[in-house]
Amino acid sequence: MNLIDAAKEVRENAYAPYSKFKVGAALRSTEGREHRGCNVENVAYPEGTCAEAGAIAAMIAAGDTRIAEIAVIADSLSPVPPCGGCRQKIAEFADPDVQVTLATTGGATRVMKVADLLPGAFAAEHMES
């Protein structure tokens, strides 16, 4: 299954009773395995979890550590980019040239690279003294 279809499928499991804005994410690790996540809201905003963060957590829980590609889908007029926090999370586990596909349930897509999502990303080398 391609990542957009996988993200679309997992999106249906999203728990979004407050915003009604369901998001799905699917990634392929460098080990070749697929990992999925969907947004999970909480009445105590902002305590929910984004779809991208869920997919990354699933990847780590499965023992994989690097993203080879990722897709995110939502029911929107135009492809929705990850929030700032998720951009940083993606950058933590993906090389700058990794492909990020943003999609709508209506079929629109936009393909970017991680470096385009988060130029000037804060990285581990910034922690070195």
pTM given for the model: 0.94
The single-letter DSSP state of residue 77 is: S
Q: List Cβ neighbours of 77 (8 Å cut-off, separation of 6 or more).
A: 104, 106
CA nearest to 24, candidates 35, 32, 62, 33: 35
pLDDT at position 126 over 90: no
Q: Quick one: CA torsion of 3, 32, 123, 7, rounded to 10 degrees?
A: 20
**Active-site option among 9, 52, 69, 128:** 52
Average pLDDT over the chain, rounded to an integer: 96
The single-letter DSSP state of residue 63 is: T
pLDDT at position 1 over 90: no
Range of the domain at 92: 3-127
Say if residue 45 carries a ligand binding annotation: yes
- In the annotation, is 69 catalytic? no
Say if residue 41 carries a ligand binding annotation: yes
CATH number at residue 100: 3.40.140.10
* 79-85 CB contacts, 8 Å cutoff, 24+ apart: 79/103, 79/104, 79/108, 79/109, 79/110, 80/23, 80/104, 81/112, 81/117, 82/50, 82/52, 82/117, 83/50, 85/50, 85/53
pLDDT at position 46 over 90: no
Mean pLDDT of 116-120: 92
Say if residue 38 carries a ligand binding annotation: no
Type of residue numbered 51? A
How far apart (Å, rounded) are the C-alpha atoms in residues 125 and 46?
30
Number of domains in the chain: 1
Q: Give the model confidence (pLDDT) of 59-99 as tens digits.
A: 999 999 999 999 999 999 999 999 999 999 999 999 999 99
